[in-house]
Amino acid sequence: MKNLFFAFLAIVAVSCNSSAQKNKSEANSKKDVAATFEVSKTDAEWKGILTPAQYHILREAGTERPFSSELNDIKKPGTFVCAADGTELYKTAHKFDSGTGWPSFDRAIEGGIAMGSDAKLGYSRDEIHCATCGGHLGHLFNDGPQGTTGKRHCINGDAMKFIPETK
């Protein structure tokens, strides 16, 4: 009888770690992370200034379809900025055709991005955020051009806007 009681207590203790508590904990940690960025808005405010596609990527860490962004083909000199707050992220000079279907860069503008971790696919990936608003931009991979940094910043086009260089 004593063993049955301890088995019951063990089951209750394990079941107290429910998915609802995990989701609440994850939401709190996301809220804490968002509070560390200079620009912070409510979901309603973000929805008011972003297109649905931009909101999905920047605020919900979504991914656009490959080869769907007009920014993938831009080669003229200029700067790619965060679609949410205008933070300068990448220069065309550091853009390359990775063949993946997403705009790819071998380096960012200093201070433009922040790094995080993403395990949504069951393994850890380096996630790239806007350093100012925390918006999800894409991921960092180690399969970029070996003649430069060896890095590939794989960025969703809907997360950015392009500002052409003026002469």
**Active site members:** 154
Q: Cα–Cα distances in Å, from 90 out to 6, 53, 100, 110?
A: 59, 20, 18, 9
Cα gap 76→41, rounded to integer Å: 33
Q: Cα–Cα distances in Å, from 142 out to 33, 38, 42, 98, 137?
A: 25, 29, 34, 12, 17
Locus of tokens 């080669």: 75
Strand 160-164 to strand 95-96: parallel, antiparallel, or no bridges (unpaired)? unpaired
The residue ranges of DSSP E strands in 40-144, in sequence order, are 78-82, 88-91, 95-96, 104-105, 113-118, 125-130, 136-141
Cα gap 42→61, rounded to integer Å: 16
Adjacent-strand bridge partners of 162: 80
Residue type, 105: F
